Amino acid sequence: MQRKLSRSPRIVGAGALALLAVLAVQSAQAAVATATFQVTATVLKACLVSTPATLAFGSYTPSTGTVATGTTAFNVTCTFGTTYSVGLSPGAGSGATVTTRKMTSPTAPAGNETLSYALFKESAMTTNWDDSTAGTGYTATGLPQPYTIYGAIPIGQYTASPQVDYADTITLTLTY
């Protein structure tokens, strides 16, 4: 005949309690050692510039007595404290300068293939945005800095061919 072992909940509970007491004593006797170490990094100067959207003047009428205007914008983001400058090229038009840029049209008759315009740094349109990247110009905050390019087509350009599209390509240069 087999004998059935019975375990009293009191005996099991007492055994578990004794085991916990032994583990607690061993933990209290554990030694601890610590060490410290350095974490370093060197942040290098870096900048990003967003691509401006097309500066679209829309339709131009030389006789309106009003300068045709348009704007586009971009952001510059550089590491904090980085000094930088932004220059705009004269453009791709033949004979273009930073004060008189020239849009061209491949479909306009010879002699009528350019339309002059200018790009400015402020809404008053008094300071041409040149291609100079000399000097520092701006100091970065570490956050995106917005800039607006203001464009104007002077009145009275009657030699431009009507019903023809004119375009130019400007290169924005960020120097830091």
pLDDT digits (tens, 9 = 90+) for 24-62: 555 567 899 999 999 999 999 999 999 999 999 999 999
More confident residue, 8 or 165: 165
Q: Domains (ranges, CATH) in the chain? A: 64-175 (2.60.40.1090)
Q: With cut-offs at 50, 70 and 90, classify the pLDDT of residue 17.
A: low
pLDDT for the residue 163: 86
Nearest to 165 by CA among 113, 101, 102, 111: 113
How do residues 67-112 score in pLDDT, each as one tens digit? 999 999 999 999 999 999 999 999 999 899 999 999 999 888 887 7
Distance between CA atoms of residues 124 and 105, nearest Å: 28
Residue 22's H or E segment, with its range, is helix 9-28
Bridge partners, residue 147, by sequence: 74
Whether the model clears a pTM of 0.85, i.e. scores above it, the answer is no
Environment class of 71 (CB within 10 Å of its CB; exposed 0-12, middle 13-18, buried 19+): middle
Q: Which residues contact 159 (CB under 8 A, 6 or more apart)?
A: 111, 112
Q: How far is CA 100 from the centre of its chain?
A: 28
Q: Which residues contact 171 (CB under 8 A, 6 or more apart)?
A: 88, 89
Residue pointed to by tokens 């090229």: 89
Nearest to 89 by CA among 173, 152, 153, 150: 173
pLDDT exceeds cutoff 60 at 12? no
Residue 102's H or E segment, with its range, is strand 101-104
